[in-house]
Structure formats: structure tokens, C-alpha cells
Amino acid sequence: MLRYLIPFGLVLSVSMPASAQQAAGCDARTLQGHKSHLAKLRSDSAKIRQTIRNKSEADRQIHMSYLNYIGSLARQAVNPKIRGCAVSQINNAVAAARRDTQMGAAPTAGGAPSGPMVRLFPATVKIAKGRTIAPPAKIRHGAAYGYDFWINPTRPIATWASILHKGRSDKERSPAVFFFPKSTRLHVRIGTDKSWNDGCDAKRPLPRGRWSHVFIQARPGVAEIYVNGRLENRCPIGKKILQNAGPLFAGSPWVPPAVAAVRNVRLTTRPLPPSAVPGIMRSR
């Protein structure tokens, strides 16, 4: 039996009949078992929909992505046209749900914020050296995190240019976001057990004089960069994401600031699947 912890405390159990382990052949009893747990999936989906009815638009977008995963599991596991059990498809769907949502990731000892998204700095601000926009007490997450924000670059500078930095020193980067020298291409650094300077880079520069939405995500083994709702790059990183007790700066105290403005900086305390990213971009 596989158990999934849905963000609201609901537990989704997916029972795999023993005969489903066979590579081919499904008897009527096995198919009936699949249909039974499909009914359970639908029931849990209804409970989740009821739970999120009064949540904010951003939270609803995130939680609806979990519903999509439940639906995906159901469609893979129970398909009357598939008489061979489609064991590999079921296993792939289960693996994808585990990998892309990290369901059940434990919060820090101090506890995580009450919702999956925390507004850190909603206003528009010009990036400046050492400009604090969120205190450490406001930034708590578990084994994974994400930051999203809007940014409007004016021009590149000759050196590395800091956008956001969380940490008490230059080598505490959870995360640190820069522009490459002479460019507006994103350079995202994430402290892990592999390196304090682990991370991922965007493939293309951001347009100048125009607002772009950026979402960066770090989870065990993977870092991702999204620009305007689309995946820009996905990179392997260390398996343990390091945390620190530093504030969040819009402009590192140790690196020259980017010539740009940022707005609506938010923290996501649970990993998001790709399908949820356009939703948070549209939310306010």
C-alpha cells in the first residue's frame, strides 16, 4: 500500500492488488480492486475540493494541482481499455507524484507557515545593496522551497549583479539570485550538502524594460527555474537543501545590486508540480 499525505492532512491510500504486480494479465478480481480504489480517490478529491473552497486564489491554484495528480493516478490505474494492468504506467504515475510534489515533506522544527504560500514583500522596490525585505522569522519551510517574484531589469552591469539573497553571509545562499555579468540571464545559487554554491542557471536573458515573472524551486536533488510560467531550466543539485537564519535581501550586502526593480516576492513552502506554476503567476 502506498500512502500520500495531501497538504490538508488528508491521507490518500492507493492499494495495489497482488496480481497487479504481474507484467501481463488482469483477472476480473484485480480490475474490481482498481475500481474500488478509484472510488476512494474520487471521495478524497471531493473532500479536498470542500476544504479549499474558502482559501485564497493562490492556495486554490496550488491545491488544485494536487487534485490533478490524484486524477492522473486514477486514470492510469483504472482504465477499462487496458486489460494488462498497465503496471509500468501505474508505477510511473506514482513515481511522478512523489517526485514532482514531494508529498508529506516534513516542516522545520519551528513549524512552517500555515499556508503553502507566504507573501514576503508585495510592494515594488528598486534593488539596492543590503536592502532587507523580509525578516528571518517570516521565512520557514521544510525540505524544499520556492520563491516567485516579478522583475523589471533596466540594464546589465559589468559584474555579477544581485537580485535576491537569503543568508547572513555571502556563502549562505538559500537562495541567492543574480544576473550574469553584462547580461540579464539568471544565475540561481542554492546551498546544499553538495556545495554552498550549488544551483541552476537560466538559458536565456530576461527582457529589459519589461516585467517578467520568475519562479525558482529547490527540492532534494533538483532545482528549477520558470520564467512567465514556463520551465526555463531544470538542474541536478545536492539531496539536502541547506537552510539559514538570515533575512531576505533585495540586493546582497556582498555583491553589487542589479539595476532592476522587483515586486510581489513570495515564498512557497511546498514543492509545486509544473502544472501549478502558471496559476501562481496569475495570482496576486
Per-residue DSSP letter, 175: S
Question: Where is 268: in which H helix or E strand?
Answer: strand 259-268
Domains of the chain listed by start with CATH number? 2-101 (no CATH), 117-282 (2.60.120.200)
Question: Does residue 277 surpass a pLDDT of 50?
Answer: yes
Return the sign of the alpha-carbon dihedral for residues 120, 186, 175, 105. positive
**CA distance linking residue 13 with residue 248, whole number of Å:** 38
Q: Which of 26-35, 68-77, 109-118, 205-214 has the lowest mean pLDDT?
A: 109-118
Distances (CA, A) of 83 to 20, 28, 116, 179, 245: 11, 10, 39, 53, 54
**Do 192 and 238 contact (CB within 8 A), yes or no?**
yes
Amino acid residing at 266 = R
Q: What pLDDT sits at residue 271?
A: 83
**CA distance linking residue 144 with residue 272, whole number of Å:** 10
DSSP letters along 30-83, please? Answer: HHHHHHHHHHHHHHHHHHHHHHGGGS-HHHHHHHHHHHHHHHHHHHHH--TT--
* 58-102 tens-digit pLDDT: 555 555 555 555 555 555 555 554 434 444 444 444 444 444 333
**CA distance linking residue 17 with residue 117, whole number of Å:** 37
Q: What is the mean pLDDT of residues 174-192?
A: 97
Q: What pLDDT sits at residue 35?
A: 57
Q: What pLDDT sits at residue 59?
A: 53
Q: What is the mean pLDDT of residues 226-238?
A: 96
Q: What is the mean pLDDT of residues 209-233?
A: 96
Closest CA to 63 of 9, 107, 3: 9
Whether the pTM exceeds 0.75: the reply is no
Question: Does residue 26 surpass a pLDDT of 70?
Answer: no
Higher-pLDDT residue of 26, 256: 256
Residue 117 banded pLDDT, cuts 50, 70, 90:
confident
List, in sequence order, every residue forming a beta bridge with 3; answer none if it has no partner.
13
**CA distance linking residue 241 with residue 143, whole number of Å:** 6
Neighbours of 107 (CB within 10 A): 14
**Do 55 and 73 contact (CB within 8 A), yes or no?**
no
Question: Does residue 131 surpass a pLDDT of 50?
Answer: yes
Residue 144 in grid coordinates: 524544499
Question: Does residue 183 surpass a pLDDT of 50?
Answer: yes
Return the sign of the alpha-carbon dihedral for residues 59, 65, 69, 75. positive
**Do 41 and 73 contact (CB within 8 A), yes or no?**
yes
Distances (CA, A) of 223 to 44, 153, 233, 284: 30, 23, 8, 24
* 247-270 tens-digit pLDDT: 999 999 999 999 999 999 999 988
Question: Does residue 14 surpass a pLDDT of 90?
Answer: no
**Do 62 and 269 contact (CB within 8 A), yes or no?**
no
